[in-house]
Structure 1
Amino acid sequence: MDTTSEKTLQSGQEEKAAKAPDTSKPEGMLEVHYIDVGQGDATLIKCGSHAMLIDGGNNNKGTTVQLYLKKQGVESLDYVIGTHPDADHIGGLDVIVYKYNCDTVIMPDYEKDTKTYQELVDVIHDKNMKITYPVVGEQYALGEAKFTIIAPNSNSYGGNANDYSVAILLEYGKNRFLFTGDAEEASEAEMLTNGIDISADVYKVAHHGSRSASTQEFLNAVHPKYAVISCGEGNSYGHPHAEVLNRLRSMGVEVFRTDEQGSIIASSDGENITWNCSATDSWQSGEQTESDRENADNVTEQTTYVLNTNTKKFHRETCGNVSQIKEENFQKVQMSREELEQSGYSPCKNCNP
């Protein structure tokens, strides 16, 4: 990696990561804003005069997030966390890093050969900033709140960018908020065995409610009272998936969704958590019904797919992974699923074409 990055806290950051606040009731309020950025993630956390941002939505959402921060009176950011280098998480962060003074930028030690990733790295360098790599167990102060890095716990996920996601546990008084990016089953399993208590009042549901995350074992350990799902209305991935919604429902978890309710705000006084809206009662997954699938099958001859000739995957045109395909591996075709599968291609697990 030819970027200037550090695996340890930089000078001046030790003070933030020093003595963490206790769990006695704090004086002010903590606000957690789950910003509606469509199919993506962006979360603003405010504690007094301190603020941090986790992810910034897709490439076309940087200005949306910037205007949201401005409306909330945010003038600078103590921390910016890019959980992992997928476009729907870091796409808008180049705008934020350019527009705001950001004390600390935390990103995983994992690169992605994409224009989106390089644009963010370039802005960080242009502002003479450095990337801080996450160290599990490291704690940082945010006013009267604190957060602990809980993932990634290893560096052996191959090409699965999701499992490299930076995950944190945010604490404010007695209230606890969990954020795991797009971490999937492998990373979740490691979080269960790293010795850190991951129980939380509020769980930001991993990977937009995908079935590839939020295993029952993981949810049992978190045991949340509330869950927030950030996804786009009518997204092509079918998020949130029915399996995850069913697990949350069976546990009696109150669920909030940006695709149904827009931006969602949780406010904590250190003991109690209040919301700007009521929990959803629809429990409707984003997946196609059997009737939808049958109708789609009837017009497969007219369907346009995007191929990755290297990975032998086929995608919907709207799939977020399409922008990550290198030009020499990119091919657009009009074929049926059956024809593609007979040609040796398999469907993308994210967009489920």
Structure 2
Amino acid sequence: MKKDETAITNKPSGGGKQKNRRLRIAAAALAAVLLAVCILLAVNAFVYPLRYLWVLFGKVSVPPRQEGELRVHFLDVGQGDCAVIEFPDGKTMIVDGGDETRASRQTVLRYIRALGIEKFDFLLLTHTDGDHAGGLDDVLALYGADTAFVPYCTRPSINDSYSDFTRALSESGSKAEISHLYTHVLSDTPENFYYLTFLSPLSPGLEGSFYDKANADGATAEDINDASAVFWLEYAGRSILFTGDITSRAEEFLLSAYTDLGAEAFGQTVSAPWGEKIRLAPELEDLDFLKVAHHGSAQSSSEEFLRMTAPEAAFVSAGTGNGYGHPSAETLSRLSAAGAEIFRTDESGTILLTIGKDGSYTVEYT
């Protein structure tokens, strides 16, 4: 064979070049995919969980808290309930989490991020209804809480939202405590002293406990609502009463106990973290602010209850144009007759109550 023929025979074919090029392109594409996966895994692990990246989008503007202020944010979550409390010492609590809708969850998670909260000190679910428990599984997954105050419920599958919450709670590592009379939270120091104490329900198993009715066979929606955690928060001579979804029946229990025993009905002496003995004694007739029960239902906020408490301001969480007629005209009339200024999320959006260390306060919409 001639030399020139041999040289021609040994040259690589055009098809071989194309094959090598395709292999290089495939390798580069695979490397890019692997790099993207590594970046996403790193973001998920060290920056922000991928399933919640949408929380980063959507601007929420909240004014910064000033030194010594206690702030309560009543979030506009539609026909549901959610409040975030910023205590004077910087500790935080979320009370309920709205419902299971995407819009409600977005509102809650984005608002928490706007406040700069990394982890809650306390989480409180007033009762098992889905319009209160709905978003708390996401709150626990994304932010967590050191302590969770929860209702006593023997049926974890009572509804999907509560079931999701209990599962998230068990995975979160939070310390769970049953909410009941005399459970309390205190500030760590006497400076800017505040306290939060539960007035109802009674502990499960005690005579008259709404927990027992809520967990009995044939329990009604009213039974479950009356098992809501009712708690009193006091700071700088100002007091706030949160009432969950209780009806006039639970209000009557509070009134009866207070009428019979006065401040001793819910009073207790506790050991403060700094070593002193302190008397906690909520006085219903000295109430300043009321978180109106059950979105302003006609079955709540009775005339007798409002006559006793006579709040300066009342806060209603309800959805615009909701099918329940909340807040009812009757409840609004009773609140006005009691002298309360009424603030509603369905009319003006999220509400911010700020109490200064001198007892002064402001209410604004954010």
Residue 100 of structure 2: aligned partner:
59
Q: CA deviation at 1:187?
A: 1.3
**Distance in 2 between the 1:141 and 1:125 partners?**
25
TM-score (norm 2): 0.66
| SS in structure 1 of the partner of residue 127 of structure 2 | coil
**Residues 179-198 of structure 1: CA deviation (Å, up to 9, x unaligned):** 01101122111122331323
AA in 2 matched with 1:138: T
Aligned partners of 1:164 and 1:183 also within 8 Å: yes
> Which of 192, 199, 216 matches 1:150?
199
Q: Does 1:274 align with 2:362?
A: yes
> Which of 34, 52, 56 matches 2:74?
34
**Distance in 1 between the 2:77 and 2:229 partners?**
19
Aligned partners of 1:51 and 1:142 also within 8 Å: no
Residue 220 of structure 1: aligned partner:
307
> Which of 325, 329, 332 matches 1:245?
332
Q: CA deviation at 1:101?
A: 2.9
Moved more, 107-116 or 162-171: 107-116
> Which of 77, 92, 97 matches 2:135?
92
Point out where structure 2 has 5 or more consecutive residues left out of the alignment: 1-65, 203-208, 258-264, 267-282
TM-score (norm 1): 0.68
Residue 321 of structure 2: aligned partner:
234
Q: Does 1:114 align with 2:177?
A: no
| SS in structure 1 of the partner of residue 331 of structure 2 | helix
Q: 1:272-351 alignment to 2 at 5 Å? A: 272-277=360-365
| SS in structure 2 of the partner of residue 276 of structure 1 | strand
| SS in structure 2 of the partner of residue 191 of structure 1 | helix
Percent identity reads: 36
Aligned partners of 2:183 and 2:198 also within 8 Å: yes
**Residues 68-98 of structure 1: CA deviation (Å, up to 9, x unaligned):** 0110111211111110111100100100011
| SS in structure 2 of the partner of residue 192 of structure 1 | helix
Cα RMSD (Å): 1.9
Give the length in aligned residue pairs: 253
Q: Does 1:178 align with 2:241?
A: yes
| SS in structure 2 of the partner of residue 157 of structure 1 | helix
Q: CA deviation at 1:277?
A: 4.5
Aligned partners of 1:177 and 1:200 also within 8 Å: yes
Aligned partners of 1:84 and 1:107 also within 8 Å: yes
**Distance in 1 between the 2:338 and 2:169 partners?**
42
Point out where structure 1 has 5 or more consecutive residues left out of the alignment: 1-25, 279-353
Higher-Rg member (1/2)? 2
Aligned partners of 1:149 and 1:169 also within 8 Å: yes
Residue 256 of structure 2: aligned partner:
193
**Distance in 1 between the 2:254 and 2:123 partners?**
22
> Which of 159, 172, 176 matches 1:131?
176
AA in 2 matched with 1:40: G
Aligned partners of 1:63 and 1:92 also within 8 Å: no
Aligned partners of 1:62 and 1:94 also within 8 Å: no
| SS in structure 2 of the partner of residue 193 of structure 1 | helix
Q: CA deviation at 1:169?
A: 0.4
Structure ranking higher in helix proportion: 2
Aligned partners of 1:31 and 1:267 also within 8 Å: yes
AA in 1 matched with 2:140: V
**Distance in 2 between the 1:67 and 1:277 partners?**
16
**Distance in 1 between the 2:256 and 2:119 partners?**
36
Q: Does 1:208 align with 2:249?
A: no
Aligned partners of 2:201 and 2:229 also within 8 Å: yes
AA in 1 matched with 2:199: I
Aligned partners of 1:78 and 1:142 also within 8 Å: no
| SS in structure 1 of the partner of residue 252 of structure 2 | helix
AA in 1 matched with 2:239: R
**Distance in 1 between the 2:310 and 2:83 partners?**
21
